[in-house]
Structure 1
């Protein structure tokens, strides 16, 4: 295995897919499927999402915050109380200089909110300042309510900072209810991440709140989620003084009407999913008759369709879904579209849904046909033949 890893490292590859055919006599054929820069990592030997348009990202990753006029800081914001509380809890702490704060603002391209400046003027959050004293570091965590990033590690928690494979990201939707405190975004240029809760969830100041939120509120970006954030505290003062620890999320991107599931446990017809706001239609495991897509033809916002193999009565109907940017189908359904020249040319990415023990070479061939339609780099194959000797 180390020889294989070394060979991959020599060519700058993270991994390689392969299939081996070994006969009882020992004759062996090894197929190496060399990665394409246009293909994401998949499950086993099968390709992941095919990036048909270079640099493309799903719609939720392109979404910027909505303007919410009239949002103001929370009543709990109190700069004097915040500073006094921090200095009482962290006597003798080393704070950041104005030059260090200004350098951070220049690097981020945004002015730090006043509460965050107060925090860093009291403590810089640098490990060097604690002289390797874990107890001192823990006192900072207890004083603030999170693990504080040093100024050099502050970052804007925008959409690019939260990458996600196409086949998962394309099935998300940005939804912000009218009573939401936090916008249901992937990320925002107004989310400044400054800490961690110790479990991998990022803590950020929110300068682009939802309709019922406050400018400067504190939010949590759950590391197990690819989209949305949860409200932790109305302000940094509230977080520090009241030691807020519980958080809740308003965001549900997997509910109708934006996202609809059709399967044995959810909706039972395509007609039931029809809504002007429908963005994502997912057809899963189904025991009944295959579905017609006629009810969703012409819906203005439908951009993603995923269909479990064998669930579509007429795959050629997909050609009429002109707004699709992502399509995931089984190999047979892709074969119908390819043979008919009916693959939607507005796609930015695609995926092949493979179930069961399918040989990877025919699947790779379909992937390469799709990549060729967009003049994207194919998955190349290397064939190695040999003999292992007869079985013992």
Structure 2
């Protein structure tokens, strides 16, 4: 699999959790009283978790619970399937379920049919609070929406985060986790404040609270023909990380997207790629008449490159890219195919049968983990995902 960018990030500047266990307990009881007043009844909670149960779960997970969440388990071991789950319509899990979660959703998202090397895990807001991973051992999922998403306490935060911060992960967050609040304490405070100001509505026995908490991941603003598409609020997104541009004449638009890390450029001509040299692009897909890779190769963040072009492209500049992990040249005419043998960090390669034959005759290839061989030069249509016939344990045949 492609390297996990979260593993490359530094830990937090502050190792002290932002939550307060005493305040969390007070807020929890106040929250329950407010809900009972609004609903006209109070739902019964399960018995508290014992200290032995808490210690056993922490030993199994290899991670300690943050003090505020730990204190809440001292009140009840989850919410026992209440009609109104306590954590913003998400079921509070009992300790027994925390360490026994099915992660088939992640396995599916990372299957090679879905071409994970083309996918980028984006940063959340605020930047660098959460590591850029789809899932980590230090993310303790404690509440479930029954649809494949969880709330988790993050005990392995990014450089600008705090241990115990609440994040959202799961099937709708494979492009990156979402930062929710700095702690379970703050999460409860937001719920209490929403109830106190009347930001809620009742539907039969269910209570919906508008606590102004992040829900699904924010949409990544896209660009078309050099003009930004607009968000629901009618304004261009403040921090664009994914860009797809068609009919590109020049790359001057990149001045407006300093944080772009996934970029797809399509043009019938040969746009000047110079502005790419100072953008943190990790995945780059080019579909152009001809491509000069000199400028993109100055980007030390480049991990994955896909080139479609009619005129021969020179791969030599890629020797200077320290982190290049994946290369797709199956839809390109290549002037110097032997350069592939010098890309020592390369682990994924996609080529045509003829290109693979040339490389096999040269020998000295990098220690590739995956090689995709097309019988003929492919047509790049959307969606990108490809049907694979997988052969494990030996190089793909150049004659098959």
What are the equivalent positions in structure 2 for 1:271-290 lying under 5 Å apart?
271-286=294-309, 288-290=310-312
Deviation of the 1:173 alpha carbon: 5.7
Whether the aligned pair in 2 keeps the contact of 1:257 and 1:273 (CA below 8 Å) is no
Tell me how far apart the structure 2 counterparts of residues 276 and 184 of structure 1 sit (CA, whole Å): 19
Deviations 1:14-41, CA, capped at 9 Å, x for gaps: xxxxxxxxxxxxxxxxxxxxxxxxxxxx
Tell me how far apart the structure 1 counterparts of residues 339 and 188 of structure 2 sit (CA, whole Å): 57
What are the equivalent positions in structure 2 for 1:16-165 lying under 5 Å apart?
57-60=1-4, 63=7, 66-74=10-18, 78-85=23-30, 87-88=32-33, 89=35, 92-94=44-46, 95-125=48-78, 129=80, 137-139=82-84, 141-142=85-86, 144-155=88-99, 162-163=106-107, 164-165=110-111
Tell me how far apart the structure 2 counterparts of residues 91 and 62 of structure 1 sit (CA, whole Å): 40
Given the alignment, which residue of 328, 349, 358 partners 2:370?
A: 349
Deviation of the 1:324 alpha carbon: 0.8
Tell me, yes or no, if structure 1 residue 169 matches structure 2 residue 116: yes
What are the equivalent positions in structure 2 for 1:292-303 lying under 5 Å apart?
292-303=314-325
What are the equivalent positions in structure 2 for 1:232-271 lying under 5 Å apart?
232-243=180-191, 244=211, 245-247=213-215, 252=241, 254=262, 256-264=279-287, 268-271=291-294
User: Which is worse superposed, 196-205 or 292-301?
Assistant: 196-205
Q: Which residue of 2 aligns with 1:8?
A: none
Tell me how far apart the structure 1 counterparts of residues 95 and 299 of structure 2 sit (CA, whole Å): 45
Q: Which residue of 2 aligns with 1:187?
A: 135
User: Which is worse superposed, 300-309 or 289-298?
Assistant: 300-309
Deviation of the 1:208 alpha carbon: 2.2
Q: TM-score, normalised by structure 2?
A: 0.62
Q: Which has the larger radius of gyration?
A: 1
* Consecutive unaligned residues in structure 1, runs of 5 or more: 1-56, 131-136, 357-362, 382-392
Whether the aligned pair in 1 keeps the contact of 2:167 and 2:181 (CA below 8 Å) is yes
* Consecutive unaligned residues in structure 2, runs of 5 or more: 36-41, 192-210, 219-238, 242-260, 264-278, 380-387
Tell me, yes or no, if structure 1 residue 218 matches structure 2 residue 166: yes
Q: Which residue of 1 aligns with 2:256?
A: none
Q: Residue 135 of structure 2: SS of its match in structure 1?
A: coil
Q: Residue 68 of structure 1: SS of its match in structure 2?
A: coil
Distance 1:309 1:230, change over 3 A: same
Given the alignment, which residue of 342, 353, 366 partners 1:320?
A: 342
Tell me, yes or no, if structure 1 residue 206 matches structure 2 residue 154: yes
Tell me how far apart the structure 2 counterparts of residues 96 and 188 of structure 1 sit (CA, whole Å): 25
Q: How many residues align?
A: 300
Relative contact order (C-alpha < 8 Å, sep 6+): which is higher?
1
Deviation of the 1:218 alpha carbon: 0.6
Whether the aligned pair in 1 keeps the contact of 2:24 and 2:188 (CA below 8 Å) is no
Q: CA RMSD in A?
A: 3.9
Deviations 1:89-117, CA, capped at 9 Å, x for gaps: 46531132223222222221222112222
Q: Which residue of 1 aligns with 2:258?
A: none
